[in-house]
A and B are shown apart, each in its own frame.
Chain A
């Protein structure tokens, strides 16, 4: 590398001598033998330089091109030549410098993560210990410590409040109120509510919401903000998200460590890319998508060709890169204000709500929800498709769709007892989407289309399910009387809410069709029936018990009465004993006296 650097420097010197063709020859030779980006960039710059030289006048050119010998040397003064691409250092010094910076970065990341963890724990402990009225003696030390932390937290919050207010009112700040549609406001409020801890008071929530509304979304997720977070008290508005981004970046760094040199470069490029995206917030969604896709393409090309990675390995790296980048960019590129995604979201949501009356029969869905396993899977599928909105990485969103599809296949398989074909799958998916009405469906689809790694989206299994979801949405948008096998009049009446397909059935069929429409309702009916049965049986039992009790009492009485009667009828007479035991021994006194012990002397 050092040799190449000197070569470049040499090329510059030659360039000074106006030997154009020699320079170009040299440069092209360099490029052929070392297709290294860094060097290429320098070279490209030089080409530009040379082109400029060609067009510019001699004088200005001389002024522009003149480079002092000392400027070419390494800034550290080690005697080697430096390189502009390495901040004027030579390769060796640059590597040292870069390593140190990277180590520092990693340590900071760790420190930040640990700090967040500690804070979280402290908050947890303090919320517990403060609820105790009399902390036991042994815990007093600890609770004191946590209490001081709690206090600290409070003051932090206070200062934050002040800065928030300041930010809110200061005219110079970039947080000038923007027009925010009311739906978005409520949506954001919801988001904020999810993010914030349970301990904060309502007033603070409100302030934070305001801040959330008036801050540019970019500011909340930009990597620069994160670096501020290390110094400032961590604003809890981004706490949860920053914990997530931190976790993702830590995972990313850990993963790249296993790759050594390519890993370092991947990390560097990814960081650089995120920073460069920070300057492009004014671009349209399509242009942003182009940037990200270009980056994916460039990265995978490079991994494949330069580092000679196997395609599986490259795929794995690209997954991680996607996760890292999109977690960071999510807030700024998901449903961007430059696009009309949000309008489409609302339109779709309204449309699905208006179609609430569509039944399984109309769509010819081969699913029998009377079977408990099937209705279970239906619920799971609905949950999965709704959950998609909560994920940040396109691939995770795809995974939700895939999981939803698997549940759908299960319902079909259980109902029809054969593998599901697309003829069965698509109507069922449409039915699930209609029932779930997933939040921000269009935004999610657009986001995945724009920012997912294309190789995954176009060919893999996930891509197939995603395509089906797109089809389902397209179908719902264009759905008309014909596609449900209804007459246009019927369709109109259902859409306007004048009639409901269920009420046309005879009244006897009503509870049945009702239960088919709502499994939970049928469950409730079932439970109610069970309960009333139980109640009846309990009544029977208590009646029986009471009967038994009275019977027992009667029996006791009757027994007592009987005993009494018998006693009365046969009174107990005890005759006096006829004589004493010895009475019959008449001649007692005739017996000789009993023998007496006698003492003999002798």
Chain B
């Protein structure tokens, strides 16, 4: 298996040992089947324990796995007739975001998502999935088009964040993100958002103002990367593991905080182990969401979305009045 992760090392070693023993029995004249059986049982147990007790940092590693399925991997498996649309009609085409029209079980939809590359060459073309303003403006153009033709919108979220660069600032990165938040709030068609990898800050949220928000089990969604948080909090980016825990960025955390609707279970060991199976799990939840949302009219959808975000946040009332006298 390619791209094993740090926490999987004990499993790898055990697996190696078992295959070594198996090889050995083939050539040598000894029966080790009892031994092998024992080890296989131990592997099974260890696998269960490891994958059932993933730490936030383990999940960060899975979310960042180089072969983790991307937006286009899921589009290919979940939709038919996908036609990609390019450009924001203002400046250019940002390949860090893909979007277009497709059919979902016969239903016309608009699909948009952040798009990482699978290798260095593609990553350079797609700017590692970190959009510029034109990417967000393309997304908004496609969302407005979806509204015009009464198509539901499905957004896949998978970015480290909006690109921090000179050109991005010059062209209004802030305004582009703000405009998407603003306009998405008023769209009269269903919007379903699914975090499939990393959900990095405002750059993720700019595709995230949905009626339903779901997260894959091992994806993350946060205001700042664990490394960034550690650098600011403890002046030490190497404390990212601790920051990943403190910042509460995993799917179960976000569910508990009332930010997301469903946690979409992942294939054991992570979505990259079986993309087809993972797509099926997404399909199941997406279908439920759309069924529910298609029953609502435009006004009800706007109201539901507004109420959803309105309840996010925790505050209380102080007894000591300190306001302006």
Are both chains from one complex?
no
